[in-house]
Amino acid sequence: MKSNRIILILIFFAVGYFLYYKDKPGPISKLWETISQVFKTKDSSSNKDNPYKAPEPDTEATATKDDTEATATNKKKTEESTKEDEGSLFDKIKDKVLGPDEQDEVTGDYDIPSFALPAIGKSDEIIKHKNYTLRYEEKYEVPAWVVHKLRGEYTKGRANRGDNQFIPDKKVEGNSALSTDYSNSGYDRGHMVPAGDFKCCQDLMNETFYMSNICPQVPDFNRGIWENIESRIRGWAVRDEELYIVTGPVLTKGMTTIGRYNEVAVPKSFFKIVLYYNPNNPKRARAIAFLLPNEGLFGKKMNSYVVSINEVEKITGLDFFTKLPDDIENRLEAESDWDAWTRIQ
């Protein structure tokens, strides 16, 4: 009996100590704060917006409605915006104790260096997004070229295409093409900068869905050899750490057009150029170019479409890598060496 009393006293003392110190500074306070935050719950009746869905049109109350209804609506929006994101209990504990997952914390300078850009004319419309730069052709409602930087670390992570919607690019001076221009056309909305290159970061992946980054592509082409080339380049980026990719259509007179609201040109072929260049070790620079017809290429190997950059310049009228030292530019643009990219470096 005496021992039981001692145990009860110790338990009572421990509980009292914990309750007294839970709001005081120190380890116990920290523990209490963590446990409290982990088990916070949201109102089960609230609907969480899909984070991958493009913004919907503004449906806010109009000025004709009374002030009481408008105030209530604004209050509800404020409360919803301040609520925590939901997640599993494990994720909450992990984030509190261990910090956020490292793969979602990719940081760096996303600016595209001048040496990776094609020559730019005074009248060219240049659009800059976070990790890609493009020249938009209003006449054809497609980009002439798009340049992005691809690091190996960008290809890994949790970002998801989800319900991402193709959206107009408001940075385009004369308005870009619309997603509905492609509806029922028989052509895919083909990414020039692939969404799959940015699994690291949802914001970077979301930007690839601007219509200024899109061209009409034959479905079997877009989902076949084009996708295979994109996947191969991601593997090279993991190996080489950092690459620069220039992608675009071959724009010619007399192209077929699609579009309900805009006349969007359908290119007959596409190019993709990959550059490895480290200014600290320019002698190791190398490049490779692909030139492919916009059609289903069943059974064809991607190395069948490797060409020199000089050939791409001739057919497009573009001038690539003008900011590189002349000797390096000339050497790279004359190359078409598939083996230099596929053999282990």
Question: Could you please report the per-residue DSSP string of 191-254?
Answer: ESS-GGGGTT-HHHHHHTTBGGGEEEE-HHHHTTHHHHHHHHHHHHHHHHSEEEEEEEE---TT
Q: Is 288 helix (H, G, I), strand (E, B) or coil?
A: strand
Closest CA to 137 of 88, 60, 192, 84: 192
Closest CA to 105 of 202, 241, 205, 244: 202
Angle of CA points 318, 324, 325, to nearest 5°? 125
Please say if 191 is a catalytic residue.
yes
Catalytic residue, chosen from 92, 149, 191, 199, is 191
- Cα–Cα distances in angstroms (integers) from residue 262 to residues 178, 183, 292, in the given order: 8, 12, 26
CA atoms within 13 A on the CB side of 211: 25
Give the separation between CA 267 and CA 216, rounded to whole angstroms.
Answer: 7
Cα 287 from chain centre: 23
Give the separation between CA 246 and CA 133, rounded to whole angstroms.
Answer: 10
Give the separation between CA 331 and CA 35, rounded to whole angstroms.
Answer: 62
Q: Is 68 helix (H, G, I), strand (E, B) or coil?
A: helix
Which residues are tagged catalytic? 191
